[in-house]
Every structure is written in structure tokens, then in C-alpha cells.
Chain A
Amino acid sequence: MIGFVLFFAWLGFGGDYIWALSSGHHPFPWLGILITIVAIGTAWYSYKTGPEKVLWATGAQELTVPQTDAERQLVNVVEEMAIAAGVPRPRIWIVPDEDPNAFATGHDPRDSHIAVTNGLLRICSRDELQGVIGHELGHVKNLDVRLMTTLAALVGAVLLVRDGMGRMMGRGRLPGRSSGRRAKDAGPLLAILLALWVISWIIAPLVTQLLAMAVSRRREYLADAMSAQFTRNPLALASALEKIESAVAPTPSIKRGAAHLCIADPLGRRLTNREGWLADTFATHPPMGMRISRLKGMGYAQLKKEGGSFTSSALG
């Protein structure tokens, strides 16, 4: 969050400084102040309204009074997992969608939300549901939910301000040209600054997006491991992931902006299941096969330690 605001301050004040060097008469850094205020405002606004926006966009409905057996079970499982994770019980939401998926959002463990789709409730056994909820609570406990919301705000705001600036620069170009004589006097320092500043503007959206994705992928593995720590049953999460993956249909009610929050890529992009640098750079989720095999590795290690033989009941 602070980095975000500082980055914008550089974009703004840097522009002012270059302008001052090149024109010689620019006493008040209005550009820097304006952009910094806009950045702080956007960051604060997205931080405050992020969770509500995500939930609203997916059409989720809050589950306050459970009616069916499945809903009662969901509430119980969430409460159990909250005890295991040592966090307050998050608010529970149900997304009316037949594709199995789940996500978590919120600011911190005291104010968090967990949403699951109807499809997930339908296909998962109690143990598998426990694994999935444990994964989401892992995100909550690691404060991933806040990080993700901030990253989403960052990507959006950079794009917004850059587009606005592009228009402003178009108009402000002429005075800059007319004072070109002074620019030569300022020498190489100005040229380097100017180049750096322009490059920052161009790559800002790309860098923030790549950052969001890299963070997101690492966090998925971590949340899988946290789930195993809470339930002591990594094989249940592995089988839940297998079920979610075999339901290949994309989750239509979860839009692109919230994709990195979900347990499985809701867009059904094929990129997610590939290895290699391209997938490593652009996918929001690690390949499902890798996640499942890591979880199974944990499961076998656990069985070995307990001295039990690997039986079909453990696969259940």
C-alpha cells in the first residue's frame, strides 16, 4: 500500500521536477500533489470497498440462517476450521453457480468473508469441504486477502491514472517543446530522469500485474499447506481439487478481477495447467497437478510417520 502511494508520488513529483528543470519556471509541484492525492484516494477507496465489490460482482448471498442440511454442514465446517486456525468465524456467502469453486476476501482476520458456490457444496464430501475451507482460511490467516485486494486496486489505479495522464500530456506538449533550449543546458541528468520517468509510466501496469500473479501463485501453495496443517488431512483437499478440476466448465459468475482470489482458476484458462516460463509469468494459479501431487506427498509422509500402512480408506 505504501509502495503504491510512493510509486505514484514518484510519477507525479518526478514529472514536476523534470518540468521544472526543462522550463525553469514551475515553482509549485501541482502535478505531484494531485497525483499523490488521487493515488491515496484510490488506494483508500479500494481498500474500504474491495470486499463488498467482489462479493457483489459474483452475486453472492450471505448465509445467516442455514436452511438445508448442506448449509448447516457448511456453517459447522467453517466454524470448526476457524477454531483450528485460531481466527474469528468469517462471514459465509453462497454464490449461486453450479461450478465448484470458492474464494475468500476481506481486510484482516477479524473482518473476512468466505464464499463458496452451490456446485462445491453439491460435489464435496464433508472432509473435502473441510480441506477447501481450510485453504481459504489459510488465505485469511496469512493476510493474503488484504494483499490481494490491494494488488487489485493497484493494477486498476495505475491503468486509470496513466490513461488520464496520457490525455493531459497531449495538451501540455507544446510549452515543453518551446523551452527545449533550457533542456539542453540541464544536461544528461535531465535526459536520464526523463527516460526513467517515461519508462516507469509505460511499464507500470505490466509490472503491477505480473507482481499480482507471482504473489498469487506462491500464496496458493502456502494456503494448501496451511489447510493441511489445520485439517491434518491433506489427502481430502487433494481429492477435492481433483473433483474441482474434473468439473472443467469455467465459473461464469466470477469475473476476471476476482480470479486470483479463488481456490481454482475460475476462467478455466488452459495456461494454468502448463509448466514453463510463460505459464509461470502469466497464470494466477499454479498447475493443479502440481498442487495435488504436493498434497499427496504430504499425505504419504504423514502416513509413514504414523506407521500406518496406506489403505484404500485413507484415499477416501
Chain B
Amino acid sequence: MWVLLVLIVIVGLWVIAAYNGLISLKNQTVNAFKQIDVQLKRRHDLIPNLVNAVKGAMDFERSTLEAVIQARNQAVKVNASGPENVKQISQAENALSGALSRLLVTVERYPQLKATGNIGQLQEELTSTENRIAFARQLYNDTATQYNTKQQQFPTTLVTGLAHAERTDLWEIEDQAERAVPQVDLSRR
């Protein structure tokens, strides 16, 4: 009789611990996903200022700068249309990443430009902005993987129904062109 009671208490405590662990991971995953949004928003706010600051020094690369502004405006517009268009949003953001990396490559091509204070700063800010987004996605993927693994592992898998835990998707690069390893031609320099 006593043994049974002790057994029930132990199992009950384990269920509570497993349930709370899953809920905690679920909320961490949601939070990590929101962090990506925060960083994307930050990038949208930052780009106009950055481009304005270097407009004068980079007049001869006007088309690259305009491409960046255009991609940014497109991304803002798609984001404003609502969070349902996940596919369109990620396409617009990927296009913006592409435009920004072309700008970075352009800056690299003119070493004498770096002497102008603004350009060095631009380079640093661009690198940091892209890094932030990459790290936010990395954190989301790590957290989501942990959450998914926990759900599928025995014996935690027994309480997934109780915690309404569902598999979350990882962030993936949808654009095939971006997935390809970039070819950098070093002979130009």
C-alpha cells in the first residue's frame, strides 16, 4: 500500500517536472522567433540612416545604394501587410540581405574609401547588422531543435499531449541561389 503511494507521488512529481520543462522550452522557442523579428526591424530602421551617411562619398556607386533602399522599402511593405505572408517576408528579407552583401563587396573593392570615417563605420554597422540576424536565427534554430528533441525523446514524449507541444519548423534558406556557396573571385584585387 505504502509502496504504491510513494510510487504515485514520484510519478506525479516527474510529470510536473517534464510538463514544466516542455512549457519553458516552448516559450523560449517563441521568444527566440520573435527575436529574429526584432533584429529584422532594427535593420529596416537602420538602413536609411546608413545610406544617407555615405551617399556623398559613394556617388559613383549610386545604383548599388539604390538597390539597397529599394529592397529595404519592399521588405518594410511586405512586413506591414501582416505576419501571415511568411514566404513573401522571407523572400523580401533575403533580397535585402543580398543587396546589403553586394554593397559590402563594393566597399571592399575600394580600399581608399575606408579612409573616410563614414565608410569604415558603414562597413562595421553592416557586418554587425547581418551578424545579429544570423545569430538570432541560430539561437532560434538551437532552441527549436532542443524543444523538438525533448518532445520526441522517451519518456518526455508521454506528456507532449498534455503540454500541447508540437514540432516547430527550423529556419531555412528558401532561396536556392543563397544556399549555394558564394564564389568569390580574389584575382580582381
A residues sitting closer than 8 Å to B (CB atoms) are: 69, 72-73, 76-77, 79-81, 83-86, 126, 229-230, 232
Q: Closest CB of chain A to B129's CB: distance in Å?
A: 9
B139 within 8 A of A: yes
For window 132-149 of chain B, which residues contact chain A by CB distance below 8 Å?
A: 132, 135-136, 138-139, 142-143
Contact A84 B135 (CB under 8 A): yes
Nearest B residue to A75, CB-CB: B128
Q: Closest CB of chain B to A135's CB: distance in Å?
A: 15
Q: Closest CB of chain B to A312's CB: distance in Å?
A: 12
- Determine chain A's interface SS by DSSP, over half rule: helix
Nearest B residue to A231, CB-CB: B135
Contact B131 A80 (CB under 8 A): yes
Other 17 A-B pairs with CB < 8 A, given A76-B124, A83-B135, A86-B32: A69-B120, A69-B121, A73-B124, A76-B125, A77-B128, A79-B128, A79-B132, A80-B128, A80-B132, A80-B135, A83-B39, A83-B136, A84-B135, A84-B139, A86-B35, A86-B143, A126-B127
Nearest A residue to B142, CB-CB: A229
Q: Which of A84, A126, A232 has the most CB of B within 10 A?
A: A84
Contacts of A230 in B (CB 8 A): 135
Contacts of A72 in B (CB 8 A): 121, 124
Q: Closest CB of chain B to A88's CB: distance in Å?
A: 12
Q: Closest CB of chain B to A126's CB: distance in Å?
A: 7
Q: Closest CB of chain B to A124's CB: distance in Å?
A: 15
Contact B124 A83 (CB under 8 A): no
Contact B127 A86 (CB under 8 A): no
Nearest A residue to B135, CB-CB: A84
Q: Hey, what's the 0/1 contact readout for B28-70 against A, CB within 8 Å counting as 1?
A: 1000100100010000000000000000000000000000000
Q: Which of A76, A80, A83 has the most CB of B within 10 A?
A: A83
16 chain-A/chain-B pairs, Cβ below 8 angstroms? A69-B120, A72-B121, A72-B124, A76-B127, A76-B128, A76-B131, A79-B132, A83-B35, A83-B39, A83-B132, A83-B135, A83-B136, A83-B139, A84-B135, A86-B32, A86-B139
Nearest B residue to A126, CB-CB: B127
Q: Closest CB of chain A to B187's CB: distance in Å?
A: 15
Nearest A residue to B125, CB-CB: A76
Nearest A residue to B38, CB-CB: A83
Nearest A residue to B130, CB-CB: A80
**What's the Cα separation between A84 and B121 when bound, in Å?**
22
Contacts of A69 in B (CB 8 A): 120-121, 124
**What's the Cα separation between A81 and B35 when bound, in Å?**
13
Contact B124 A232 (CB under 8 A): no
**What's the Cα separation between A81 and B138 when bound, in Å?**
11
Contacts of B120 in A (CB 8 A): 69
Contacts of A77 in B (CB 8 A): 128
Contacts of B124 in A (CB 8 A): 69, 72-73, 76
